[in-house]
Amino acid sequence: MHLLKLFLYATIMKPYCNNEYYAMPAITVKNIPALLYSQLKQSAEAHHRSINSELIVCLEKVLTPQQIDKDQLLMSARAMRNKLTNLKVTEEDLTSAKVEGRE
């Protein structure tokens, strides 16, 4: 009986996972700007994925919190600071930058 039940669920395309049947949520995205769609399509092709799979990957990157390695962040900040050691910015430089484009 279990196999028959599995067959019936499989024929109506419900995924099977951990002995439980579930339906994955689906969304429809409307009014996608042509340029954005083109970029998504190019990215999907570059990664050998469908547009749907590429969209899921993009959403995961944006919505999934990323753990920041504090040691790596500190190293990056120190490296950036070392690159700027020879750069001397005076009060006059700052004032000039502030007024630039205002005239």
pLDDT at residue 50, as a whole number: 94
Q: Is 93 helix (H, G, I), strand (E, B) or coil?
A: helix
Helix (H/G/I), strand (E/B), else coil: 17: strand
Mean pLDDT by 10 residues, the chain (103 residues): 44 53 81 94 95 93 88 92 83 87 71
- Give pLDDT, residue 48: 95
Beta strands in 19-101 (DSSP E): 20-21
Residues facing residue 17 across a β-bridge: 20
Q: Give the chain's count of helices (H) and strands (E).
A: 5, 2
Which pLDDT belongs to residue 2? Answer: 46
What was the pLDDT predicted at 24?
Answer: 79
What is the SS3 assignment for 100?
A: coil
Structure tokens at 39: 């970029």
Domain spans, the chain? 2-84
